[in-house]
Amino acid sequence: MKQNIVLCSLAIVCLAFHAVANASDRNLIQTLYHADFVPDADDDVPHFSLDGEVGILAATGNTDTTSLKAGITSEQETMHWSNSYFAELLYKESEVSADGETTREKTAQRFFGYAQFDYKLNHPGQRFFMYSDYENDAFNGYDYRASLAAGWSQRLWRSEESEFRYSVGPGYAFISAEPGTTTSVNNGVIIRASAEYRYRWPSGARLRQFVSTETGEDNTKSRSETSISANLFGSLAMKLSVILNHETDAAEGVDPLNTETSVALVYQFF
């Protein structure tokens, strides 16, 4: 009888120690990342969202210019997949003076889109990702550019206020030069890495910071997106965004750093 009591006491002590250890791990993660530890916060599975944004600027008088920026963002959560889709279009016409004549010319035209598919592994927050993108810019010295990548993705934390995730893995870049140009083509193996941080205030305003880089043998292409959005009413919001694109080996006659600052209306369809 005494032996059974001792064994039961030891079992209770072990269970208590295990519970305390788990609580300590959670407190440690909460201290490190300043966020509630959520083993797998996909409580809204299945989930699908679709946001559309549009920004238009038309100026006349001393400056005659027209610009349009439109985009679509979508996110999908299932039991086994966490997917994101994005596409944007930028178009701009400006007044240009040459040889004493003033004409309107196209000064910007770009389409960019990407899709990332994260397959959820057994361990919470850990995924295997597959990524692809495509860019067609009439003023970057290339006919088009595309890339494929796959590797490791992880969501370090997700709480009601904030979320942070990253991904890293090898891939391949496909680049086509403009016909008749001497622009070098940097096709080849790349290493792609990205990180995304989101924060939501109690008022409903949101901050998103996204950075990515694709490093190859001859060129490194980096992108940074910073945006702040605030609800106006219902499903309509206003968004301020700053985008920076940089290349270490840009095409001849092209600035290695390009920046975009825009204000747009965003409508949440789903």
CA 237, 241, 242: angle at the middle one, nearest 5? Answer: 175
CA 140 to chain centre: 21
pLDDT tens per residue across span 141-165: 788 899 999 999 999 999 989 999 9
Rg of the chain over all Cα atoms, to the nearest angstrom: 24
- Smallest CA-to-CA distance from 243 within 263, 258, 228, 231 is with 258
Residues 21-28 have a mean pLDDT of: 45
| Half-sphere exposure of residue 115: CA atoms within 13 angstroms, side-chain side | 4
pLDDT digits (tens, 9 = 90+) for 49-107: 999 999 988 777 767 789 999 999 999 999 999 999 999 999 999 887 777 777 788 88
Tell me the percentage of the chain whose pLDDT exceeds 90: 57
Give the three-class secondary structure for 28. Answer: helix
Q: Is the pLDDT at 232 greater than 90, yes or no?
A: yes
Residues 178, 183, 187, 191: is their CA dihedral positive or negative? negative
CA distances from 154 to 125, 126, 165, 215 (A): 5, 5, 6, 20
How far apart are the C-alpha atoms of 4 and 14, rounded to whole Å? 15
pLDDT of residue 228: 97
The answer to whether residues 107 and 118 touch, using CB atoms and an 8 Å cutoff, is no
